Amino acid sequence: MALRVAVPLLSAEEGLHREARLLDRVRTTAISGGVVFWRSQKALSVPRVVESRQHFGAIRAAMAKAGWPVVVRATGGDVLPLTPGLLNIGLCFAHPGSSAFGIAEAYKLLCEPLIEVLGAWGIAAVCGRTPGALCDGEYNLVVEGRKLAGTAQRWRHAADGSGRMAILAEATIFGDDDLRVQVAAAEKFYRLSGMVAGLKVDRHVTLAELLPGPYAELGGSGLLEAMAAEIAQAFRRRFGWPACVPSD
Amino acid sequence: MSKLRFTKDHEWVRYDGNVATVGITDHAQAELGDIVFVELPEVGRELKAGEACAVVESVKAASDVYAPLSGRVSETNNAIVQDPALVNRSAEDEGWFFRMVPTNLSELDTLMDEAAYRDFLASQQ
């Protein structure tokens, strides 16, 4: 039986809230993990470091006026414009906690299943940096030097004092976005902040570009739902969770 | 005489006189990578040992920092708010996070000394 996975279109606040709620469940209960998938209404997602910068309030207001409400997320990274064409994945899992298990290992747990699923669709992705891409980082998913997905993490302790860690590992995959629009939004934000972004549209790639046949057949949201269902299966194989994907 | 102790969560605490200074270990800063943001507890806040009281954000991840002891926050290190990379450069000295007045000194004895912490790190590899 094929697994069906809901990929609801949510406000950015609600999507991030669902991820935070799942992290809190992993932190405060015995459940070992879960994953939420969602698409976002247009918004600009920024880490907390950005919130602490000078004139953030005025910049936030200017971006909202331009159609890009700014939301502050609890994971690290940089500015990322969210749109309905992106697939947001919030993977939460518990780990007993040890110095040998760190941020790199957590990224592997997130990225390896994604690479496996993309490989099954004929896309050869690797982890790496993509200078000039939005929210560039060491653990982007990259296809032929172009960024297909970004990642971030939030670590918290379990509430039971056991030393167990609860980890939220996020990935955002470009689906059928007009990346020129996203890059322009991020550049506007940086410009208002008095910073130079150096972003390049051609350092990104979308699923629609890589999978023109399935995109034509399934449409943007259909392709993201099909991809999400396979990613959910891959996480299940990796983590051995029961056959459910927590969602609200 | 000062006492330096460590938690399994990779915080250090140096108790000297009536005040304990708290930070994250060199191991923790190396694991996080380039630190870009630190949020510190308010002066006067009462903390319980093990309570999440600060946030540290790097280019790779964001994580909580936990109070190693119970007590009241007496001072915070504004230098790491202005320059978070100071934590990378000097995690166990100038990159301290906050100072507190402990309310239960026996909690110090539940933490690891430097040799035990090094052994703990080695045992986790």
**DSSP class per residue in A217-246:** HHHHHHHHHHHHHHHHHHHHHHH---S---
From the list A128, A124, A103, A101, the residue with the least C-alpha distance to A114 is: A124
Q: From CA B116, how far away is CA B107, in angstroms rounded?
A: 16
Q: Where are the domains of chain B?
A: 3-103
Contact (CB<8Å) A103/B57: no
Q: What is the model's pLDDT at position A3?
A: 64
Let me know the angle formed at the C-alpha of B69 by B68 and B73, rounded to the nearest 5 degrees.
100
A162 CB neighbour count, 10 Å cutoff = 11
- Residue whose C-alpha is closest to residue A77's, from A184, A178, A172: A172
Active site residues of A: 135
Given this model, what pLDDT does residue A177 score? 87
- Structure confidence at residue A161 (pLDDT): 74
Per DSSP (E only), the strands in B40-123 are 46-47, 52-58, 62-66, 71-76, 98-102
Mean pLDDT of B51-72: 94
In chain A, the residue whose alpha carbon lies closest to the alpha carbon of B49 is A161
Exposed / middle / buried, residue B18 (Cβ in 10 Å: 0-12, 13-18, 19+): exposed
Task: Kindly state the helix (H) or strand (E) to which residue A150 belongs, with its residue range.
Answer: strand A146-157
pLDDT tens-digit readout, B1-26: 689 999 988 999 999 989 999 999 99
Task: Give the residue ranges of chain A where pLDDT is below 50.
Answer: 1, 243-245, 247-248
Question: In chain A, which residue's Cα lies nearest the Cα of B59?
Answer: A77
Does B59 score more than 70 pLDDT?
yes
Calculate Rg over the CA atoms of chain A.
Answer: 17
Chain B positions touching A98 (Cβ under 8 A) are 124
pLDDT at A247: 47
Query: Does the beta-carbon distance from A99 to B62 stay under 8 Å?
Result: no
Token pair 């899992």 in the structure block, residue: A93
CATH class of B3-103: mainly beta
For A154, the closest chain B residue by CA position comes to B62
Q: Which residues of A touch B61 (CB under 8 A)?
A: 75-76, 103, 106, 152-155
Tokens of A97: 């906690």
Q: Cβ–Cβ of A152/B61 closer than 8 Å?
A: yes
Sort A21 into a burial class: Cβ within 10 Å, 0-12 / 13-18 / 19+: middle
Contact (CB<8Å) B64/A156: yes
Residue A65, CA atoms < 13 Å, CB-side half-sphere: 8
Interface of B with A (CB under 8 A): 8-10, 27, 31-33, 36-37, 39, 50, 52, 55, 57-64, 66, 84, 120-121, 124-125
pLDDT recorded at residue A108:
95
pLDDT at A248: 46
Q: Do B124 and A76 touch (CB under 8 A)?
A: no
- A197 vs chain B: nearest CA distance in angstroms? 16
Instruction: Judge contact between A92 and A26, C-beta under 8 A.
Output: yes
Going by C-beta distance under 8 Å and a sequence separation of 6 or more, which residues neighbour residue B60?
Answer: A76, A103, A107, A137, A138, A139, A153, B32, B33, B34
Taking CA A92 as the corner, what is the angle to CA A24 and CA A81, rounded to the nearest 5 degrees?
A: 95
| Global pTM exceeds 0.95 | no
Query: What whole-number distance in Å separates Cα of residue B70 and Cα of residue B105?
Result: 9
- Name which of A153, A157, A163 is nearest B60 (Cβ-Cβ): A153
* DSSP 8-state secondary structure symbol assigned to residue A27: H
CB contact under 8 A, A75 and B55: no
CB neighbour list of residue A226: distance below 8 Å, 6 or more residues apart: A214, A218
Q: Distance from A107 to chain B by nearest Cα, in Å? A: 9
pLDDT confidence of residue A1: 45
* Residue A178: per-residue pLDDT: 92
Q: Could you tell me whether strands A86-95 and A165-174 are parallel, antiparallel, or unpaired per DSSP bridges?
A: antiparallel
Q: What is the DSSP letter of A52?
A: T
What SS3 class is residue B18? coil
| ipTM of model | 0.83
Q: Could you tell me how many CB contacts below 8 A there are between chain A and chain B?
A: 71
| Integer angstrom CA distances of residue A73 from A70, A116, B117, B124 | 10, 27, 33, 31
Dist CA A149 CA A143 (whole Å):
9
Pairing mode, strands A33-40 and A9-10: parallel
Residues β-bridged to residue A150 = A172
Give, rounded to a whole angstrom, the gap between the first and last alpha carbons of chain B: 33
Distance from CA of B32 to the nearest CA of A (A): 7
Which residues of chain A have a Cβ shorter than 8 Å from any chain B Cβ? 47-49, 52, 74-77, 97-100, 102-103, 106-107, 137-139, 152-157, 161, 163
In whole angstroms, give the CA distance from residue A40 to residue A83: 5
* All domains of chain A in start order, with CATH: 9-238 (3.30.930.10)
pLDDT tens for each residue of B76-97 = 999 999 999 999 999 999 999 9
DSSP secondary structure code for residue A30 in this structure? S
Inter-chain contact B124–A77, Cβ cutoff 8 Å? Answer: no
What's the half-sphere exposure (Cβ side, CA atoms, 13 Å) at A30? 0
Comparing B68 with A101, the larger pLDDT belongs to B68
Query: In this complex, do B36 and A76 lie within 8 Å of one another by their Cβ atoms?
Result: yes
